[in-house]
Amino acid sequence: MASKRKRARIDFTANAIEKEVMEAKQQLDTVVNFKNSVKLKQLREALAVFKGKAQFDVVGMLALMFGFNTIMWILFSIRHVPKVFSRYKNTRFTIISRIVKYLCPESSLTDVVVEEIVDTLEKFAPNMPFTGTYSNDFDDALKAVTKAGEFNVSGLLAPPVDDCLECGGRLCAPNPPSNGILYTTNGPKAVTKIILRCSSCKISYGYAMRSDGDGVSRYYSEDIMARNTVLEVTNVAYIEKALYVWLTSLINHCFVSFQGFSVSYNETFKKEIANYSNGSNQDPGQGMAEEPGQEMSGRSFLEDIDACSELKQKDEKDPAIVLEEIEFETVDTVEDNAAVYQGTRNFMAKHVEIIEDCKEVAAVSCNKDTVGKIRLQKWSRGIYIIASGGGHIEYWQPLYKSESPTQAFMITVVWLYNKFMALKASGKSDEELLQAMEETVLAYDNMCHLDALRISRKDLPLPVPFNKMWQKVGKVIDRLHLQNHKDPKCKIMYNPDSSLSKSVNTMAAEQVNVWASRLKRIMVSMPYIHHKFFFHRMVKKGDAYTEFCYKVGKQPVCTLPRKTIPP
C-alpha cells in the first residue's frame, strides 16, 4: 500500500498574504535600485567624458529615468538643505531622502540612490534652478521683461473667478491692465492688476470686490476670499495677509502706530523701494501701462497707503478743522447727541422712565470724582469699557463731557439687557435668567454713585424678569480704587472681599483701560469714524488673542496699572 505524502500547509490569511506581497516588493525594489545605481554610474561616466565638450540636459535625463516628480522634489530639497549638513554623519542626504520618500512614496528610492542623484545634479548641473548657485535669476528676468515689455510683470493680480457668478458666462477684459503697489513681508513691489467684466450682466469683477451695473459694490463670498493671499486696501494699494496680521499684532501688543510702522518698514526696505521709486509724490496708478519702463512713484511708501482718498488731502490741513469737517460729513442723523453716538438712543426712547430717574436720591458723601475737564460736546472724553474677569472686552461705548454716573449707568444697563436677552433667546427660562443675574458681579470704581441713582433703587421699567436686573446683579468696587473712597459705607457695601474670592481679578477692566490708553496717541489724530473703527478692530484683535491664550492654557500678557493693590 502506497504511503500518502503530506501536503504543505499554505496560510491564506490576510496577514500572511500581505507579508508575502511586501517581501516580493522589497525584492523588486532591491533589483530596481540596483539597476538605477548601474544606470546612474553609466550616466555619470558618460557625462564625465563629455564634460566641457557638449551640453546635456542632465535634469531631463534624470527625469526620464526616475520621473519628473521625483527629480523636482529632489531639486527643491537640494535648495532647502545646506551642504554643510553632510559633515555630520552624512545627515544632509538622509534629510533629503526622507523628504523625497514622503513626497514620492511610489519611487522606493534608497538613501544611496538619492545621494547619487544629488551628487550627479550638483556635479554636472551646478547652474540649474533650485541647486546651489540659485539666486534671484527669476526676479531679474521679471525686471528685464517689465523694462522691455508693455507693462509690469513682477506681480500680477487677477479676480478670483473665471466666469460670471450670476450667468456663468465668460468674462472679458475691456480695459488694459492698471498698476499698483503690493506691500509684502519682503518689501514693497509693483504689481499689475486686471479687471474683468461680464458683457451680459454688466458686472465688473475686481480682485476683492465685484461691482454691479447699478454701481453697488460687494465683496466676494467667504470661501472665494479665503483663497486670496492679498488684501485690497485701495484701488492702487494692496497688502499681503501675513504683513497685515503682523501689523495689527504689533499695534495690539507693542502699541506701534501705523505711521511708526510705516517709517520702520520703509527704512528696512529702502533698497527695494529704490529699485522702482523715483521719490516723487504721484499717484502710482497713473501712466505705467501707457509708458513702458516708467519708474514707480514715491506713493509706493507704506505711510501713504490710503493716499488716494479725499481724506488724505484733508489730513494735510489743520487737524482741528479737518476733524470737524469729517464728523459733520459722516454723521447723518437728525439728533446729534451722546445717546446717538453711544448707541443707547433707541433703548432710551422705549424706556423714558429710566432717564427721568437717572438722578441721585441724595448727594453721596464719597468724594470719588470722575468729572474731568469739560470738552466740546461732540468729542469723546474717553471710552467706557465693559470687560470680563479674564480680560475679554464684551462692550464699549464713547463717553462725552465727563464719565457721569448717568452715562455709565445707561451703557451698563443696555449691556446687561442685551446680555440676558441673548440668554432668553437661547431658550433659558425666567428662573435661569434670574440665577444668571445673581451670578453676575459688576466691579466699577464709581459704583457708589451708580447705585445712588433713583432708578437703581427700584425695579427697572422693563419686562419681567429684566426689571430685576440691577437689583439681582452683584455690585462691588474694584480693589484698586476702593482705597480712594472716603465714605466708610463704600468699604462695607461694595467691598469685593465680602462676596468674591480673593483670587477673582476685579481689576480686569482697569488693566484693559491701561491697554487702551496706550492707543490714545494713535487714535486722537484720527477722524471720528476712523477712530471708532480702529478701536473696534483692536478690540476684536485683543479678544482673539485672549481667547487663544486661554485655549492653549497660557495667561494673556496684559499691562498692569502703575498703582499696586494694597495687601
- 527: three-class secondary structure by DSSP: coil
User: What residues are paired with 240 via a beta bridge?
Assistant: 230
pLDDT in tens, 408-422: 898 999 999 999 999
pLDDT tens string 377-389: 445 668 899 998 8
Q: Which of 258, 287, 306 corresponds to the end of one domain?
A: 306
Q: Do 175 and 161 lie in a common domain?
A: yes
Polymer length in residues for the chain: 567
Identify the pLDDT of residue 140: 74
State the pLDDT at residue 57.
75
- The last residue of one of the domains, among 108, 129, 151, is 151
Report the C-alpha gap between 313 and 354 in whole angstroms: 44
> Which pLDDT value is given to residue 371?
43
Task: Label each residue of 78-145 as H, E or C.
Answer: HHHCCHHHHHCCCHHHHHHHHHHHHHCCCCCCCHHHHHHHHHHHHHHCCCCCCCCCCCCHHHHHHHHH
Residues 159 and 135 in one domain: no
One domain for residues 178 and 84: no
Residue 424: what pLDDT?
92
Residues 148-166: tens digit of each pLDDT: 776 778 788 889 888 888 8
CA proximity to 133, closest of 142, 125, 144, 145:
125
Residue 92, domain member (yes or no) = yes
Place of cell 446717538: 340
Whether residue 285 is contained in a domain is answered as no
pLDDT of residue 407: 87
My answer on whether 418 and 433 are in the same domain is yes
pLDDT in tens, 169-183: 889 988 888 888 898
Establish if 315 belongs to a structural domain.
no
Helical (H) or strand (E) element with 532: helix 528-551
| Residue 443 one-letter amino acid | A
Sequence-distant (≥ 6) Cβ neighbours of residue 503 within 8 angstroms? none
Question: What is the predicted pLDDT for the residue at 91?
Answer: 80
pLDDT of residue 317: 42
Question: For strand 441-443 and strand 204-205, is the pairing parallel, antiparallel, or unpaired?
Answer: unpaired
Asked whether residue 126 falls in the same domain as residue 188, the answer is: no
pLDDT of the residue at 394: 92
Q: Are 514 and 559 in contact (CB under 8 A)?
A: yes
Determine the structural domain holding residue 203 and report its residue range.
155-277+299-306
Radius of gyration for the chain, computed over Cα atoms and rounded to the nearest angstrom:
35
Q: What is the pLDDT of residue 335?
A: 55
What pLDDT does 377 receive?
Answer: 44
Residue 101 — φ and ψ, nearest 5°? Answer: -65, -35
* All cell numbers assigned to 505: 481679578
How many folded domains does the chain comprise? 3
Instruction: Assess whether 81 and 191 both reside in one domain.
Output: no
488 and 413, same domain (yes or no): yes
**Could you tell me if 145 and 159 lie in one domain?**
no
Residue 3 falls within a domain, yes or no? no
Task: Give first-to-last CA distance, the chain, whole Å.
Answer: 107
pTM of the shown model: 0.55
Give the pLDDT of residue 304: 39
* pLDDT value at residue 103: 85
Task: Give domain status of residue 26, yes or no.
Answer: no
Which of 151, 180, 214 marks a domain boundary?
Answer: 151
SS3 string, 459-492, reads CCCCCCCHHHHHHHCEEECCHHHHCCCCCHHHHH
Whether 218 and 140 map to the same domain: the answer is no
Residues 142 and 186 in one domain: no
Co-location of 471 and 356 in the same domain: yes
pLDDT for 379: 55
Q: What residues have CB less than 8 Å from 332, skipping those under 6 apart? A: none
Is 175 contained in some domain?
yes
pLDDT in tens, the chain (567 residues): 555 566 656 666 777 767 776 766 666 566 566 566 666 776 766 666 556 545 567 777 888 788 888 888 888 888 888 787 877 777 888 888 888 888 888 777 777 888 888 888 888 777 666 554 444 567 777 777 777 776 778 788 889 888 888 888 889 988 888 888 898 888 888 888 989 999 888 889 988 889 887 778 888 988 888 888 899 988 889 999 888 888 887 777 766 666 667 767 776 677 667 765 554 444 443 333 333 333 344 344 454 333 333 334 444 444 334 334 434 334 444 455 666 666 666 666 666 666 656 665 555 567 654 444 444 444 566 889 999 888 889 999 888 877 888 888 989 999 999 999 999 999 999 999 999 999 999 999 888 888 888 888 888 888 889 998 999 999 999 888 888 888 888 888 998 888 888 888 888 888 888 888 888 877 887 887 888 888 998 899 888 888 888 888 877 766 555 554 443
In a domain, 45, yes or no: yes
141 in a structural domain: yes
Of the candidates 308, 344, 340, the residue with the CA atom closest to the CA atom of residue 327: 340
The answer on 169 and 139 residing in a single domain is no
CA distance 18 to 11: 11
